Amino acid sequence: MPSERIIRIGVLALQGAFEEHQRSIESISSTIKTVQIRTPDQFDDIDGIILPGGESTAMGLIGDATDGLWHALRTFVHRGDKPTWGTCAGMILLAERCVGTSAVITKGQSLIGGVDILVCRNYFGSQVSSFEMHTPPPPAPCCAGEIDELRDFDTASAFPGVFIRAPAILTAGSDVEVLGKVVAAPCRSAAVVLRELERKIEAGENVTQMGVVDALERKGGGIRYADVRLHKETNASAEGCCFEEEKKEVTAMEESTNIELPGASDGTNAREVICAVRKGKVLCTAFHPEIADDLRWHKYFCGMVLAAKNESKE
């Protein structure tokens, strides 16, 4: 098989579900190979890279501690000539802004950046709150005619999105293409973060990163959960977004989707959030496609890689 026909996709292998991504990618076609990326010198030999789900804080700590790795990854992503795909924790790393970052990191979440999105870390809850829900399918992959396995692509059926300690995209810049949205309530801790975020935006602050916020109230020696229902409509025109829908709209969405998530906050906090975006050659998904028994998102990314490789030959 001619080497120019082989697509080589790197998978960042610091922590998380990198082996699951490898199995998914390599099961598509014998012309698509994967390599685990752990050192900066490996970026020259790949046609695209996947940042897997896992623990974004741990990935950032390991990446920062590995000489030259984070710089090489940033260079690869921001150069923009080869595709990058971040899933769940990988999506957090690719965000320009993030709220609900880990309380154990004093200098802030170590982000790669590259996509103008505001991400709420752990929006859907803790590990025990993991769930699966229907999400929009990806578009048909580019260059499907060049690899037989990319043909006959189903763009109509919902994709089984698996959410494990998953983030949500709250806002996306004008140059970011939204590929999927879902309606869901934030978990209790995320709802408190969102309430604090809205307070900061109302005060005119430009929030880039914000840590977790205590969801408990302590009065008279007793401890109880804070009321995290969002009552007041907020017009955050400075950020180009509005985090709180009108109550009638929220009620209508809840009735139409009937989503009940474990660990969700009290009240009518269900809102539409973004779960998949693309900016140029960078793809982000909040869920874990590598765990689902469905290869459509992996095929879509392979189409992106193939298109970019063909573009480089022109």
Same domain, 288 and 238: no
- Number of domain units in the chain: 2
Cβ neighbours of 155 (radius 10 Å) = 12
Range of the domain at 206: 188-257
For residues 102 and 87, what is the distance between their CA atoms, to the nearest angstrom? 18
pLDDT, averaged across the chain: 80
Same domain, 114 and 235: no
Q: Is 232 a member of any domain?
A: yes
Q: Is 290 a member of any domain?
A: yes
CB 39 within 8 A of CB 45: no
Q: Is 267 a member of any domain?
A: no
Same domain, 245 and 290: no
CB 185 within 8 A of CB 265: yes
Q: What are phi and psi of 238, to 5 degrees?
A: -65, -30
Q: Is 221 a member of any domain?
A: yes
CB 172 within 8 A of CB 277: yes
For residues 272 and 275, what is the distance between their CA atoms, to the nearest angstrom? 10
Please give the C-alpha separations between residue 251 and each of 33, 45, 123, 201, 259, in angstroms, as whole numbers. 47, 51, 20, 25, 12
Same domain, 74 and 13: yes
Q: Which residues contact 242 (CB under 8 A, 6 or more apart)?
A: 233, 234, 235, 236
Same domain, 97 and 221: no
pLDDT tens digits, 189-248: 888 888 788 888 888 888 777 766 555 455 655 545 455 555 444 333 333 333 333 333
Same domain, 65 and 192: no
Q: Quick check: 129 pLDDT over 60?
A: yes
Same domain, 143 and 74: yes
- For the segment 8-37, the average pLDDT, to the nearest whole number, is 94
Same domain, 162 and 284: yes
Last residue of a domain, one of 209, 225, 257: 257
Same domain, 180 and 243: no
Q: Is 112 a member of any domain?
A: yes
Same domain, 287 and 161: yes
pLDDT tens digits, 48-106: 999 998 777 777 777 777 788 889 999 999 999 999 999 999 999 999 988 886 544 44
Q: Which residues are catalytic?
A: 88, 288, 290
Same domain, 134 and 231: no
CATH of the domain at 95: 3.40.50.880
Same domain, 101 and 145: yes
Q: Token pair of 152, please?
A: 């006959």
